[in-house]
Structure 1
Amino acid sequence: MVRRAVHGVLLLDKPVGLSSNDALQRAKRLYRAEKAGHTGTLDPLASGLLPLCFGAATKFSQASLDADKRYVATLKLGQTRRGGDLEGEVLRERPVNVSREAVRAACDRFTGQIDQLPPMHSALKHEGKALYEYARAGVEVEREPRRVTIHSIDIVEGEHDRWVLDVRCSKGTYIRTLSEDIGEALDCGAHLTALRRTGAGALTLDRAVTLEALEAMDEPTRDACLLPADALLADCPEVRLGADDAARFLAGMRRRLALADAGQVRVFGPEPRAFLGSAHIVAGELISTRLLSPSEVQGLVTERTERTA
Structure 2
Amino acid sequence: MNVVLSERRPRQIRRALHGVLLLDKPLGLSSNDALQKAKWLLRAEKAGHTGTLDPLATGLLPLCFGAATKFSQVSLDADKAYTAVLKLGQTTSTADGEGDVLSTREVNVTREQVEAACAAFVGEIEQVPPMYSALKHEGRALYEYARQGIEIERPARQVLIHRIDILAWQHDRLEIAVVCSKGTYIRTLAEDIGERLGCGAHLSALRRTASGPLTIASAVTIEALTEMNETQREALLQPADSLLSDWPRISLDDAEAGRFLTGLRRRVAADDAPRVRVYGPQTHAFLGSAHITAGELIADRLLSPLEVQGLQHPESSL
| TM-score (normalised: structure 2) | 0.95
Q: Which residue of 2 aligns with 1:261?
A: 272
The aligned residue for residue 4 of structure 2 is none
SS at match of 1:147: strand
Q: Secondary structure at the match of 1:230?
A: helix
Task: Look up the equivalent residue of 1:131 and give its one-letter code.
Answer: L
Counterpart in 2 of 1:282? 293
User: Partner residue of 1:198?
Assistant: 209
Alpha-carbon deviations, 1:237-270, whole Å to 9, x = none?
1111111111100000011011111111111111
Q: Distance in 2 between matches of 1:134 and 1:39?
A: 25
| 1:47 aligned residue | 58
Aligned partners of 2:216, 2:161: CA distance in 1, in Å?
A: 20
Residue in structure 1 matched with residue 142 of structure 2 by the alignment = 131
Q: Which amino acid aligns with 2:281?
A: P
> SS in structure 2 opposite 1:272?
helix
Inter-partner Cα distance in structure 1 for 2:235 and 2:172: 43
Matched, 1:302 2:279: no
8 A Cα contact 1:35 1:55, kept in partner: yes
Q: Conserved in 1, the CA contact under 8 Å of 2:81 and 2:211?
A: yes
Give per-residue Cα distances to partners, 1:25-44, cap 9 Å, x unaligned: 00000010000000000011
The structural deviation recorded for 1:304 is: 7.9
Query: 1:271 deviation in Å?
Result: 2.0
Which residue of 71, 74, 84 corresponds with 2:95? 84
Structure number with greater Rg is 2
- 1:143 pairs, out of 151, 154, 178, with 154
In structure 2, stretches of 5+ residues that fail to align are 1-11
Look up the match of 1:65.
76
Secondary structure in structure 2 of the residue aligned to 1:212: helix
In the alignment, which of 171, 187, 194 is matched to residue 198 of structure 2? 187
In 2, Cα distance between equivalents of 1:230 and 1:81: 41
1:165 equivalent among 140, 164, 176 = 176
Shift in Å, 1:199: 0.6
| Alignment of 1:272 onto 2:283 | yes
Number of aligned residues: 307
1:209 — aligned with what?
220
Structure-2 residue corresponding to 1:176: 187
Residue 202 of structure 1 and its aligned partner are, at CA, apart by 0.7
Classify 1:305/1:25 alpha carbon distance in 2 versus 1 (closer, same or farther; 3 Å).
closer
Question: Could you tell me which amino acid in structure 1 is paired with residue 196 of structure 2?
Answer: A
Say which SS state the counterpart of residue 84 (structure 1) adopts: coil
Q: Separation in 1 of the partners of 2:69 and 2:122?
A: 33
Alpha-carbon distance in structure 2 between the residues aligned to 1:14 and 1:27: 11
Give the residue type in structure 2 aligned to 1:26: K
SS in 1 for 2:14: coil
Please give the secondary structure, in 2, of the residue aligned with 1:70.
strand
Query: What is the match of residue 17 of structure 2?
Result: 6
CA contact (8 A) 2:310 2:316 kept: no
Q: 2:30 aligns with which of 12, 16, 19?
A: 19
Aligned mates of 2:316, 2:124 — CA distance in 1: 46
AA in 2 matched with 1:193: S
Residue identity over aligned pairs, in percent, reads 67
